[in-house]
């Protein structure tokens, strides 16, 4: 495993991290979840990403149990707050009340005294940014959170938060967690240049496009048994990437991966890691073999000729519009 700084902070993270959205507490049984976490630890992954909302809070519980007994100092545990965790109007968003209640629930479920990174899962248009950042800063002072970051915030929102933090002396954001893959490059135009300048690192999600970039989904054919596309929850999220046009072009990446001696999943993960603003690529997995496959992307260098070949294949279907980074206009 290779390690990178989380943005300009002193924290080192494994360049490949393991995330448990869709899988833990939901798509896979607890034994499989624990085997994936064990495989991740065996392969040198030290950074684990979850969220209060995943599987209705069950994902944090599963991760807490799976990491029990592992030396806390050898782990970086990331979680998030924003999406609803209960029925009430205060069970969501980035108010002082919900953030404070949510971190306590996360710490209890994860069985830890602190999280290494606490992330605002989306921008909350209904809470003053000062209120959110002051609450985050208080959690840092209390030692419950070591670093703070955001997820899927656009450049304007990140810049506004940095300005307030600098004026008020609050702890600064060190990271953003955006979707980023060969197919989804919307952060490149605005978010990455700002973050590079300001010292935030990208902790990117769905680098394998939820499994699509493994090439296992074939155009015109039903999805393989047991894959995310067949899961009731996961199927909704992956469906927009399962058009024949996308799947046909993804198949054309196979010879490029084969020439490099890489699996398709490794090529996809290695691709996001070529961006120097990426601190870590969060991979998901339903089976330990997938973790072992994906981690081999650590340290892989792709030269300009390979990157051009990939662009030549994918160009017509790559999403680049920075306006696609959106948070709900009202709290969900
Ligand atoms: N901040 C946010 O808003 C946000 C949103 C989404 C995700 N995330 C974070 O990012 C993490 C990763 O997201 P993701 O799970 O969508 O990432 P991903 O790595 O793109 O996709 C993971 C899925 O692809 C399949 N897969 C992975 N490796 C494979 C391999 N080697 N061979 C075959 N299939 C393979 C598995 O699904 P099947 O076996 O079921 O096909 C696996 O669960 C999440 O767990 C979460 O921590 C954050």
Lowest mean pLDDT among 7-16, 37-46, 235-244, 264-273: 235-244
pLDDT exceeds 90 at position 17: yes
- Cα 23–chain centre separation: 14
Rounded CA-CA distance 123/26 in Å is 26
pLDDT exceeds 90 at position 24: no
> Whose Cα sits closest to atom 30 in ligand 1?
290
Confidence of residue 23 (pLDDT cuts 50, 70, 90): confident
Q: Which residue has the higher pLDDT, 123 or 25?
A: 123
Rounded percentage of the chain residues whose pLDDT exceeds 70: 100
Active site residue ranges: 54
The reported pLDDT for the residue numbered 280 is: 98
Rounded percentage of the chain residues whose pLDDT exceeds 90: 95
Between the CA of 18 and the centroid of ligand 1 the distance, in Å, is: 9
The reported pLDDT for the residue numbered 115 is: 98
pLDDT exceeds 90 at position 25: no
For residue 106, what are its two tokens?
Answer: 């996360």
Q: pLDDT digits over 166-212, tens only?
A: 999 999 999 999 999 999 999 999 999 999 999 999 999 999 999 99
Between the CA of 325 and the centroid of ligand 1 the distance, in Å, is: 19
Confidence of residue 233 (pLDDT cuts 50, 70, 90): confident
pLDDT exceeds 90 at position 26: no
Rounded CA-CA distance 178/194 in Å is 14
**Residue 199 φ/ψ region, left for φ over 0, alpha for ψ in the -120 to 50 degree band, beta for the rest:** left
- What is the mean pLDDT of the segment spanning 144-163? 98
Q: Is the separation of the CB atoms in 264 and 214 below 8 Å?
A: yes
Give the mutation target among 290, 295, 327 for probing the ligand 1 site: most ligand atoms within 8 A of CB. 290
Which ligand 1 atom sits closest to the C-alpha of 289? 31
**Residue 263 φ/ψ region, left for φ over 0, alpha for ψ in the -120 to 50 degree band, beta for the rest:** beta
Give the mutation target among 25, 210, 288 for probing the ligand 1 site: most ligand atoms within 8 A of CB. 210
Between the CA of 283 and the centroid of ligand 1 the distance, in Å, is: 5
Confidence of residue 70 (pLDDT cuts 50, 70, 90): very high
pLDDT exceeds 90 at position 42: yes
Beta bridge pairs of residue 148: 118, 173
The reported pLDDT for the residue numbered 29 is: 87
Helix 155-168 and helix 191-198, axial crossing angle in degrees, nearest 10: 20
> Whose Cα sits closest to atom 19 in ligand 1?
283
User: Exposure of 197 by Cβ count < 10 A (0-12 exposed, 13-18 middle, 19+ buried)?
Assistant: exposed
Between the CA of 315 and the centroid of ligand 1 the distance, in Å, is: 23
Q: pLDDT digits over 94-127, tens only?
A: 999 999 999 999 999 999 999 999 999 999 999 9
The reported pLDDT for the residue numbered 250 is: 98
> Whose Cα sits closest to atom 27 in ligand 1?
285
pLDDT exceeds 90 at position 61: yes
Lowest mean pLDDT among 20-24, 99-103, 315-319: 20-24
For residue 61, what are its two tokens?
Answer: 């519980």
The reported pLDDT for the residue numbered 22 is: 86
> Whose Cα sits closest to atom 10 in ligand 1?
205
The reported pLDDT for the residue numbered 86 is: 96
Beta bridge pairs of residue 179: 205
The reported pLDDT for the residue numbered 332 is: 92
Q: Is the separation of the CB atoms in 267 and 253 below 8 Å?
A: yes
Q: Is the separation of the CB atoms in 278 and 179 below 8 Å?
A: no
pLDDT exceeds 90 at position 1: yes
The reported pLDDT for the residue numbered 240 is: 87
Give the mutation target among 16, 33, 106, 206 for probing the ligand 1 site: most ligand atoms within 8 A of CB. 206
Between the CA of 182 and the centroid of ligand 1 the distance, in Å, is: 14
Ligand 1 site residues (CB inside 6 A) read 19-23, 49, 121, 151-152, 177, 205-211, 214, 216, 227-228, 265, 282-286, 290, 293-294
> Whose Cα sits closest to atom 48 in ligand 1?
205
Between the CA of 35 and the centroid of ligand 1 the distance, in Å, is: 16
């Amino acid at each position: 495993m290779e390690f990178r700084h989380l943005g300009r902070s002193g924290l080192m993270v494994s360049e490949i991290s393991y995330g448990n959205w869709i899988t833990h507490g939901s798509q896979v049984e607890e034994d499989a979840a624990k085997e994936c976490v064990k495989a991740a630890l065996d392969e040198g992954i030290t950074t684990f990403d979850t969220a209060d909302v995943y599987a209705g809070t069950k994902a944090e519980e599963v991760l807490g149990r799976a990491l029990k007994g592992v030396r806390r100092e050898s782990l970086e545990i990331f979680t998030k707050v924003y999406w609803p965790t209960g029925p009430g109007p205060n069970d969501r968003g980035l108010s002082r009340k919900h953030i404070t209640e949510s971190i306590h629930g996360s710490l209890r479920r994860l069985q830890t005294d602190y999280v290494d990174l606490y992330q605002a899962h989306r921008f909350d248009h209904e809470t003053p940014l000062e209120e959110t950042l002051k609450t985050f800063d208080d959690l840092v002072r209390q030692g419950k959170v070591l670093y703070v970051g955001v997820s899927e915030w656009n450049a304007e929102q990140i810049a506004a938060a940095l300005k307030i933090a600098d004026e008020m002396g609050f702890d600064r954001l060190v990271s953003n967690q955006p979707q980023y893959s060969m197919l989804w490059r919307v952060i490149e135009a605005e978010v990455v240049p700002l973050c590079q300048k300001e010292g935030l690192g990208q902790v990117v999600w769905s680098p394998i496009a939820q499994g699509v970039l493994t090439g296992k989904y074939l155009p015109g054919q039903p999805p393989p048994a047991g894959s995310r596309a067949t899961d009731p929850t996961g199927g909704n999220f992956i469906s927009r990437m399962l058009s024949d046009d996308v799947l046909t072009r993804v198949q054309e990446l196979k010879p490029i991966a084969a020439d490099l001696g890489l699996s398709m999943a490794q090529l996809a993960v290695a691709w996001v890691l070529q961006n120097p603003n990426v601190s870590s690529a969060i991979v998901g997995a339903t089976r330990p073999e997938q973790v072992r496959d994906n981690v081999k992307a650590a340290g892989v260098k792709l030269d300009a000729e390979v990157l051009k070949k990939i662009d030549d294949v994918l160009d017509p279907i790559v999403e680049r519009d920075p306006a696609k980074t959106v948070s709900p206009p009202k709290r969900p």
